[in-house]
């Protein structure tokens, strides 16, 4: 089923023409209304009329998170301040956050994209969505809320945390879908198991939408198995309206990125060269329908690739693969580049590993992985623990090409995150 079949199955040539039309409108909007962009374009002698193809976007300069921070709070607005109806923020590297403004039309379009996403995964009006993301300055919870309202589902705006209450709400209102972070979903699944609750018998959940933090395919499989549900990967960021930028369909083989609203490029994060479809690199996005605060060639720092083949579901918008990590999340140990997701992949695929782990960096040569394992392995038999430790060390060494130190912990030892998890503890000194 489609939310907007005409747009979701649009012909490639028609989509390209629509993108060009909206791109030129967007370039004109920022050139004449945003001094920051006008100065950037004039510095390289480019005018709006010079952009005569979608590919010509590569001639334009990038926008970075530093640009948003440096123009805080209202320096990137393309319409008067009194036309804005909402502001969201995203974390920054200084004391000030990144401020993202929305007009009424911006909010409506963001909600419409979420409606597309939900219907694409099988959500219908008789469903009940328990929204367990943080309501507040971040976009995730509110944008999902508005989109679900468009579909007509019943929303339980639970927010994160208070797991006993979450389960009570699931039972009382017959929740069929969750919007939740991967780390809290793991904790919730384990909590339900320890309470002796059978998800199939005692709950009504059919699917979960995971976002707000990168996670591995192994983590998805673990959550699906523990809760007996379908888990769908979603992608978004505050700078691009929130969680509806890209979403998995029922095929669950990559996330459809809504190309009538965004132009996606993949670049080499070091050389800034545009890479072909199928090549892993940094995702760069340009808004095509943003009124209040359009962004041109925004460097997301998220590492992924564009899947070149058309999806079997019939939707023609290209898909991006899951987020492998962020360019600024990568760390180096003994000269080897490592992403946290590589470690998570190994841990979640290892039988006997529980739901929580931590990566501790002490120096350029020392990597420690602290991981909780099944409680029954702490049965007094030291051999069981040694075997498990060696198994994890060897699996990580094979994946990372670096031999880490591994500490085994009982379940509940590490702090539980009900929002975005903090997996990497960096104790290195410059």
Q: What is the pLDDT of residue 420?
A: 66
Question: Does CATH number 3.40.50.880 belong to domain 1-326?
Answer: no
pLDDT per residue as tens digits for the range 311-348: 999 999 999 999 988 877 788 888 888 888 889 889 98
* CA dist., res. 99 & res. 137, Å (int): 9
Give the lowest-confidence range in 87-91, 108-112, 123-127: 87-91
What pLDDT score was predicted for residue 202?
97
Phi, psi of 336 (to 5 degrees): -105, 130
Confidence grade of residue 7 (pLDDT, cut at 50, 70, 90): very high
Instruction: Give the pairing type, strands 177-180 and 207-210.
Output: parallel
**What integer is the mean pLDDT of 289-305?**
97
Q: What are phi and psi for residue 426, nearest 5 degrees?
A: -100, 105
Taking the C-alpha atoms of residue 265 and residue 276, their distance in angstroms, rounded to an integer, is 9
Instruction: Please give the C-alpha separations between residue 76 and each of 38, 63, 407, 427, in angstroms, as whole numbers.
Output: 11, 11, 47, 36
> What pLDDT score was predicted for residue 378?
83
Mean pLDDT of 70-75: 96
Same fold, 1-326 and 331-426: no
Decide if pLDDT at 93 tops 60: no
Six-digit token string for 222: 């673990």
CB 226 within 8 A of CB 205: no
Residues 386-397 pLDDT 10s: 999 999 999 999
Q: What's the pLDDT tens digit per position in 197-208? A: 999 999 999 999
Distances (CA, A) of 14 to 4, 28, 129, 315, 387: 15, 21, 35, 14, 59
64 pLDDT more than 80: yes
pLDDT at 6 exceeding the cut of 90: yes
Which 8-state DSSP code applies to residue 278?
T
d(CA 200, CA 195): 14
pLDDT of 282 over the 60 cut? yes
pLDDT at residue 91, rounded to an integer: 61
Q: Which residue has the tokens 């209202």?
A: 74
Block residue for tokens 């360019």: 327
Domain layout of the chain by residue ranges? 1-326, 331-426
pLDDT above 60 for 1: yes
Nearest to 411 by CA among 217, 214, 194: 194
Give pLDDT tens digits for 262-272.
Answer: 999 999 999 99
User: With 90 as the cut, is the pLDDT of residue 292 above it?
Assistant: yes
What mean pLDDT, rounded, does the chain reach? 93
Superfamily for 331-426?
A: ANL, C-terminal domain (3.30.300.30)
Please say if the pLDDT value at position 419 is more than 70.
no
Min mean pLDDT across 25-34, 64-73, 211-220, 284-293 is at: 211-220
Q: What is the mean pLDDT of residues 176-189?
A: 94
75 burial level (CB within 10 Å; 0-12, 13-18, 19+): middle
Nearest to 428 by CA among 332, 286, 336: 332
Distance CA 71, CA 99 (A): 9
Q: Is the pLDDT of residue 92 over 60?
A: no
């Amino acid at each position: 089923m489609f939310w907007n079949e005409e747009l979701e199955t649009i012909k490639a040539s028609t989509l390209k023409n629509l993108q060009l039309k909206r791109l030129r409108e967007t370039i004109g909007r920022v050139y004449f209304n945003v001094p920051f962009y006008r100065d950037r374009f004039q510095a390289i002698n480019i005018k709006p009329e010079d952009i005569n193809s979608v590919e010509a976007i590569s001639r334009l300069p990038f926008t970075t998170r530093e640009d948003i921070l440096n123009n805080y709070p209202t320096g990137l607005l393309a319409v008067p301040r009194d036309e804005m109806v909402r502001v969201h923020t995203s974390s920054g590297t200084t004391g000030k956050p990144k401020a993202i403004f929305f007009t009424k039309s911006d909010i409506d379009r963001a909600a419409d994209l979420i409606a597309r996403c939900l219907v694409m995964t099988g959500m219908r009006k008789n469903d009940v969505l328990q929204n367990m993301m943080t309501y507040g300055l971040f976009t995730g919870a509110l944008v999902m809320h508005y989109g679900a309202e468009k579909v007509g589902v019943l929303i339980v705006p639970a927010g994160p945390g208070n797991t006993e209450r979450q389960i009570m709400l699931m039972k009382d209102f017959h929740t069929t879908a969750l919007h939740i972070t991967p780390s809290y979903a793991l904790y919730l699944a384990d909590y339900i198991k320890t309470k002796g609750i059978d998800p199939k018998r005692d709950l009504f959940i059919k699917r979960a939408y995971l976002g707000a933090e990168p996670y591995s395919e192994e983590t998805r499989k673990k959550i699906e198995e523990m809760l007996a549900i379908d888990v769908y990967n979603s992608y978004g960021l505050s700078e691009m309206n929130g969680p509806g930028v890209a979403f998995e369909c029922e095929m669950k083989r990559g996330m459809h990125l809504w190309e009538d609203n965004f132009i996606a490029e993949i670049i080499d994060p070091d050389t800034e060269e545009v890479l072909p479809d199928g090549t892993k690199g940094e995702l760069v996005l340009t808004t095509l329908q943003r009124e209040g605060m359009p962004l041109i060639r925004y460097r997301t720092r998220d590492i992924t690739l564009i899947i070149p083949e058309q999806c079997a579901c019939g939707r023609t918008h290209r898909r991006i693969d899951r987020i492998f990590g962020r360019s600024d999340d990568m760390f180096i140990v003994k000269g080897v580049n490592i992403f946290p997701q590589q470690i998570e992949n190994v841990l979640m695929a290892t039988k006997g590993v529980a739901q929580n782990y931590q990566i501790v960096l002490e120096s350029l040569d020392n990597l420690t992985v602290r991981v909780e394992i099944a409680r029954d392995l702490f049965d007094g038999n030291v051999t069981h623990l040694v075997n498990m430790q060696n198994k994890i060390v060897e699996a990580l060494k094979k994946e990372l090409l670096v031999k880490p130190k591994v500490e085994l912990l009982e379940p509940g030892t590490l702090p539980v995150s009900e929002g975005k998890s903090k997996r990497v503890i960096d104790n290195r000194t410059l």
